[in-house]
Structure 1
């Protein structure tokens, strides 16, 4: 928060909870092509920004689009636009202005001084949401690391979230703000400590993944844009009750459950944090330990909101985040696109999705709310895993304990009979492991 002598209440006659959302749109000079994503509408982007604000129960009084020819170094917005919003903020007694873009500390500070209201940018708002939603120890460490990385270049802010009764990380201000500034050394020390703790967490996760491989259960990870319905689908498939709702980032901490498939095979289903456009890079870095679960998955189910007008643009955003994690192009066998919320579609649109399904074997249409199509998703997962492995018979000398252990670690042992010389095993193994064993001439 800004380390000015005024509290949030002194900055404005209005409450910090009364918010104005501003979505900047770049003006395109005549004869030039806009670099904005053509399929992402301005209205949808503004609605998303409002949804982010309401995710932490802010009272959005006004939501406006602002044209920006070129971001001003001092205020981001043009002087005329700044004055127009100053009048609006005063008239509606708004205490918080949210700029749906990345602001520099100088821009943020100058806007606050002119508007006499708290100002946060898109990154600060997302971090505030994550700070409020994190429930596990790991989740809180990850969000705090991202928040401090964000704050490090903003030494005009104060570290007050530890004193706040509500969740979040203090970007919104609030009663009792201490005004204590954090210097670079203290932030650096805390960041170093958080990184050590998260490195330990990453090692623990790696051990857990190694243990799961010994069982082994294939891992199926649900990914998708925030509010696409991942957690609702997770609950529908596993009969669980993880937090789900019609809001952005309803789920932050990852959840795993065992899921039985029609073939009798057991898999681990993982629900992960939702993605969003312009996700801060340091937030992706902080959550890398969690998101690495996705890259280790045997199958990724990309849950898409088929009812959203920007579904294709959201798809690109999700694939870009996966690419940032090192998963450049999921294979056809390793990716399923679940077109969710078909219960909200009109008959014509539903027919179009059904026709698309005929052209693309990676797609399945469903409703996580009604359950329609969910059996088809489960069957598709089962078929994908079936095609990626097969059952073989193995004769392994009892003295070759290393190979026996390797088979149990890498495959699903369906049966075993021992005699005086060998273990005769029937096992389901991935094709790449079968090739390794064939090289050692142990297959029949």
Structure 2
């Protein structure tokens, strides 16, 4: 969008603009994670002051119904009293010790009790670190080098996994960012998500040296793209045939699409699972889990080295325990389902009313919105063909009407148990204006 077009948007206000200008002087692009800069939609990012339940509030005093939820962790809603209390109580005892605590074991026990494939857990500090550890673990456990990943699947900014994917069925990895040497990604093979033939082709060419297939069971970094029927089970079968490990990157889907993660929702069991976001209840926590025979390959019981000064950080463990203990019985997910149904049905009705080609997709408590006339979006090329200009108009109009969406057409949306009928109705009223603006653009 042009700067002239950007000038029409009413929100955020002058205080956010001032903070963004200040931040740009001392931080690359004024942000600490690129999507926050609004470069995908134009305009100035809102700087957030505080949040509660389904709402966030920026420094100019604007209130927004929030569907970002810190990009996934806030399934209970912002500043949930039990989570806040758990963190406050632990903070009063000390922030970090560099030594074991019982909290680490308690959270690990919760994870193992909720996820059938996990018998042992290593806590880390982020989803990126979890993916990096899972890859090293798979290579160390199998003694193989190559990894198969998918176009449109994001596993953090790990060098070997930050790879541009071509449109072909199989593309040998090329660096997806300056600073990533070609040698680092020469063993990364990129297949097409929801295309088992592309994976079979990779195994046929390199099967004896493939350590693992790493996949987002629901692609959440090219918006929300569910697996087609049989795709995940097909990956399981190919890994079994060639002796490779199946790694599910459930940093986003873990505990969000089902209390037992996406693997329970779809009934497919991975060998290794990477977790993040919800497992830390909003604190910077990641985890890697799997059967003991695989996990014991990690130091100190095995030869694969991994360590972290702040791994198992007490505040993160406390937040994670408070969150997962409330998700375990499934009641939160059951309560969210009809809310998301109402939201997505209402959005589609608004789009149809204004004649705007539009599609929604969802799994559990995550969803996607696509400006397309397609009946389904299942691959990276489908996502790339969607109209990002229409999304930018939609995004800013929603923002102007008090609804906060991820500032990119390629990010999934997240709903929480705190989104009540009032929040959803406000969202749909904003959507009516937003689709009208898209139709007129």
TM over 0.5: no
Larger Rg: 1
The TM-score, its normalising length taken from structure 1, stands at 0.30
